[in-house]
Amino acid sequence: MKTIEFISQLRAAPDNHLIFVDLKGQSVHRGYHLTELKAASFQTVDCGGQTNQWQETIVQLWVPTNAGDDSNYMTARKFLEIFDKVRGMIPLDLDAKIRVEYGDENFFPSTYHVRAVAHDEHVTRVFLEPPATACKARDRRIAALSPADSCCALATEACCSAQAAAKTF
């Protein structure tokens, strides 16, 4: 999900409590803090030797050790106040994908994708999905070639093998 889409969803229900939920239904604990907003810029080289670059907005959440069950969830309005203040301080790309960085005993520490946002009467749920790895070189080859011609057509052949890598690097 793009940052602008996420923020628009929050603006639609600013008084709702904001609950971040994983694919198993586990939620980030009450009393979490929005501890950091990051305007991340990535420049990479994949195993096929191609350079890639993209932007992400990363929201970092943290639950203090003294946050008890009597703590409340942050409202969308509070989140938006923080977001708007930070946006005035650093350039956040609204077209960039938004990610949520978090980890605890229920969530493996990672930077999660925002899969969807849903509202009910008093709650806005942000559904998080763990990231998956991919081979960009393989994906490009599959998209460009027929399966018979693809470097990954045979189970015994890998686009990232030493032989394939030697051709690109």
Q: What residues does each domain of the chain span?
A: 3-129, 136-168
Among 6-15, 43-52, 68-77, 115-124, which stretch is predicted with the lowest mean pLDDT?
68-77
Average per-residue pLDDT for the chain: 88
The pLDDT value recorded for residue 146 is: 57
Distance between CA atoms of 126 and 129, rounded to whole angstroms?
Answer: 10
**How many CB atoms neighbour CB 86 within 10 A?**
17
The pLDDT value recorded for residue 76 is: 98
Characterize the bridge pairing of strands 17-21 and 123-129: parallel
Q: Which two tokens stand for residue 137?
A: 């070189």
Q: Convert the pLDDT of each residue in 2-45 to its tens digit.
A: 999 999 999 999 999 999 999 999 999 999 999 999 999 999 99
Distance between CA atoms of 35 and 14, rounded to whole angstroms?
Answer: 19
**Dihedral class, residue 49 (left if φ above 0, else alpha if ψ from -120 to 50, else beta):** left
pLDDT band at 71 (very low <50, low <70, confident <90, very high): confident
